[in-house]
Amino acid sequence: MSNRIITIAGGNLFAVAAKYLGDATQWIRIAQQNRLNDPILQGVNMLIIPPIDASAGGGVGS
């Protein structure tokens, strides 16, 4: 599966990861893909959502 692009108004990357990746701890993958440092979103954002990867997780960037 390839990347998907979504538009979201406010919120946080934990909820986005839970909804689109099935695991809130994978928020860091979305942050890295979109060059974000803060999981809390302000305003309207277009985000690239990486493919689901059940082996990824942990919430800590490498």
Residue 52 · residue 3 · CB < 8 Å:
no
Domain housing 32: 4-49
pLDDT digit string, tens, across residues 6-30: 999 999 999 999 999 999 999 999 9
What is the per-residue DSSP string for 15-51? HHHHHHHS-GGGHHHHHHHTT-S-SB--SEEEEEEPP
Single-letter amino acid, residue 54: A
The answer to whether residue 13 sits within a structural domain is: yes
Geometric angle at alpha carbon 50, from 31 and 60, rounded to 5°:
40
The answer to whether residue 12 sits within a structural domain is: yes
As for how many domains the chain has, the answer is 1
| 38-61 average pLDDT score | 87
pLDDT band of residue 55 (cuts 50, 70, 90) is confident
Q: Does residue 62 have a pLDDT over 80?
A: no
Q: Does residue 57 have a pLDDT over 80?
A: no
The token pair at 47 is 């985000």
The pLDDT assigned to 49 comes to 97
Q: Does residue 59 have a pLDDT over 80?
A: no
